[in-house]
Structure 1
């Protein structure tokens, strides 16, 4: 699952100027990559001065972290909505998440997972960006783990790892397939096969 539009709105209560900078950064970072987009280009797109930009984001890395936080907040809210719509239905929730991943991959401008892309651009595993990516992935794995518990899966470690791999692979396939290389029933069937094996 990945946001397909600006996620700067996820930071409720912040100044309109900060929102505008985040919106410009979100669109450009996701479309072109973090390293390819300079602070000067974001400043121009957001129509702010350098002084204003650096008052809100002292470094570009601060902006990258805010961008990832916005993407993470959006995804957390979407997962929470999916779960609240299906109380007591972990199978339905997992199916809905898989369908949402496929829907996102078919949307215009989809470029895959923003967290995987960001990790690829920051080689140092101790960099704050990599920590932000790891925290988001830990959260998502935690959601899957909770759903596996609800499904009665006892030894969940292998199934959990396989479901995360399926999610990552689906995002890549969706992007490389140009919006037509991934079907919801394929992803759902693969996930069900993983869970069925784990429940034996």
Structure 2
């Protein structure tokens, strides 16, 4: 379920949404950083970052797109690599089990809700954030719901794997500096909360 042995061509054919999300994230990361590295010579990179990053004060002034656009932006090489690898390892099973459109809805909705929580619960108007971690924790939240309420969808071995990953992810959230703690936690919570809506017709990964 969480072991990847596909070729690149079979991966992008079987998991089109995940492939597209990773491509978008990497293109935007390279575009923005090429602009930063060249002092703004690469067109519009700095503008994309400035318009897309989540800034609480700007959201309060009506720039509500910033509740979603941070999901596609990343700060540094380690950030984009970690989130891309997380998508590659852990998201394919869910896209296969519920279908590509439902997976996209889960990903975007949980990322959005994590950013809404960040906006509502952090009073500092200067607070800013970016990254897909809220949405990735949303995927983990759906798996958490499976472990608790839909045990027929996930076997014992993969239950252990996902619980270990969730525990590591939550602990890392609190011990690593610069993490949007609320984004991670509410991504996880929102994933578990909306899971019943998206798992109604889900099939076990091994029976799809």
TM-score by length of 2: 0.30
Which protein has the larger Cα radius of gyration, Structure 1 or Structure 2? 1
TM-score by length of 1: 0.31
